[in-house]
Amino acid sequence: MKTTRPLPTISFVVFFSSLVLRSNAYKFHRINLTSGANGPESLAFDCDEGGPYTGVSDGRIFKWGGRKHGWSEFAVTSQDRKRDLCDGSNDPKLEHICGRPLGLQFNKATCELYIADAYFGLFVVSRYGGVATLLASRAEGVPLRFTNSVDIDTDDGAVYFTDTSMYYQRREFLQVIQGNDSSGRLLKYDMQSKNVTVLLRGLPFANGVALSKDHSYILIAETTSRQVLRYWLKGSKANTVEVFAHFPSYIDNIRRNTKGEFWVALNNGKRRNEKSDNVTSTSTEENIVATRIDEEGQILEVLKDNYGGKYLEYVSEVLDANGKLWVGSVRDPFLSFSKT
Ligand SMILES: *[C@@H]1O[C@H](CO)[C@@H](O)[C@H](O)[C@H]1NC(C)=O
Ligand SMILES: *[C@@H]1O[C@H](CO)[C@@H](O)[C@H](O)[C@H]1NC(C)=O
Ligand SMILES: *[C@@H]1O[C@H](CO)[C@@H](O)[C@H](O)[C@H]1NC(C)=O
Ligand SMILES: *[C@@H]1O[C@H](CO)[C@@H](O)[C@H](O)[C@H]1NC(C)=O
């Protein structure tokens, strides 16, 4: 892999000074999951701006219909999923039976939902939901072990997705971290040829992906190295990769907004210091749960957990959509949102 290493555009110093520029003006609300499941990791809106949709720990993908209609079951990734065993489960030991849909992205051209299921691979399901269709479960003969995040180029029918590790499954994510595993891959599924191509390999904890607004590059989060890579798809640098930005903590999903900026989620687990909202305190870094960056990797905004852990724990994704900021979580039984 050709990796050039320019000076990182985001330094710790910038991180701290940017904290002074911005304090949270958001008023968050919770949407509790109802099933007993947790971990609404990734969020997506359909062609009619319906949703959000989210995949949870029991393997189901739900659609939020607003306070009046609540949650409704939309899709699952396995025909063999055992409803008695799985519904409402948050037991990681059942995930390989129930499925664990982590990455979601609607194809805005066809209104189909693409799903990265951690255990089963890449799927697609129509706008009417049901049992999703498997598109890919291996690449270069190597099984997808920990499929994670997905984004779509509707112009050329390319579906970009990550496989976090060739050796460990999602429930073994600590081993990916502690074992310093660097077997993650960036993959491309071609809708016409149905071929899967490996674009990058040897990534430490390959996680979120997000295409740029003009589709000339894709960003890839490396959770454990705490950096975001930029892989060029078009132009003179096509097929090369560079370090785009560094962060002070574990990175999860990346989502682009309509302006072409990116929200990068920083999973800092559970809030450790309930009282601190002090930019000089060492716990400040732990309170940063996401940052908004521009196409040069410069920080535009820092989202901190100033809410006593009530809304912004284990943050996996921040999605700016439909005039709201939506926040997903790796393991909480709710998602949060605020008007922007
Ligand atoms: C969500 O659940 C929490 C804890 O069970 C509860 O305190 C809160 O009122 C619920 N919020 C909503 C909006 O239902
Ligand atoms: C983890 O792997 C990276 C790159 O493969 C290496 O530079 C680093 O020293 C390793 N860290 C540990 C703790 O083994
Ligand atoms: C799929 O990819 C392989 C190797 O990458 C290539 O040889 C083959 O022609 C491709 N098939 C299609 C239908 O594009
Ligand atoms: C912020 O932290 C510094 C150093 O720990 C401390 O001296 C100061 O009183 C704190 N300020 C507030 C508002 O808590």
Which pLDDT belongs to residue 20? 45
What are the pLDDT digits (tens) for 88-122? 999 999 999 999 999 999 999 999 999 999 999 99
Catalytic residue among 41, 222, 286, 313: 313
313 assigned to active site: yes
Which pLDDT belongs to residue 97? 97
Which pLDDT belongs to residue 280? 41
> How far apart are the CA of 313 and the centre of ligand 1, in A?
15
> How far apart are the CA of 233 and the centre of ligand 1, in A?
44
> How far apart are the CA of 101 and the centre of ligand 3, in A?
28
Identify which of 188, 161, 159, 324 has the alpha carbon closest to the alpha carbon of residue 258.
Answer: 324
Q: Is the dihedral of CA 64, 70, 76, 81 positive or negative?
A: positive
Mutational test site, ligand 4, from 19, 275, 278, 285, max ligand atoms within 8 Å of CB: 278
Which pLDDT belongs to residue 268? 77
Q: State the ligand closest to the CA atom of 278.
A: 4
Helix, strand, or coil (residue 32): strand
Asked if the model's pLDDT at residue 171 lies above 90, the reply is: yes
In sequence order, what are the residues at sequence separation of 6 or more whose Cβ sits closer than 8 angstroms to the Cβ of residue 184? 162, 163, 164, 165, 166, 201, 202, 203, 204, 205, 206, 207, 222
Q: How far apart are CA 323 and CA 148, in angstroms?
A: 26
For domain 37-260, the CATH architecture is: 6 Propeller (2.120)
Q: State the ligand closest to the CA atom of 224.
A: 2
Residues 145-165 have a mean pLDDT of 98
Q: How far apart are CA 100 and CA 221, in angstroms?
A: 20
Mutational test site, ligand 3, from 135, 138, 192, 193, max ligand atoms within 8 Å of CB: 193
Which pLDDT belongs to residue 25? 82
Asked if the model's pLDDT at residue 163 lies above 70, the reply is: yes
Confidence of residue 15 (pLDDT cuts 50, 70, 90): low
Asked if the model's pLDDT at residue 22 lies above 60, the reply is: no
Which pLDDT belongs to residue 284? 57
Which pLDDT belongs to residue 3? 45
What are the pLDDT digits (tens) for 262-303? 999 998 776 544 444 433 433 456 688 999 999 999 999 999
- Report the nearest-CA residue for atom 9 of ligand 4: 278
Which pLDDT belongs to residue 270? 67
What are the pLDDT digits (tens) for 220-244? 999 999 999 999 999 999 999 999 9
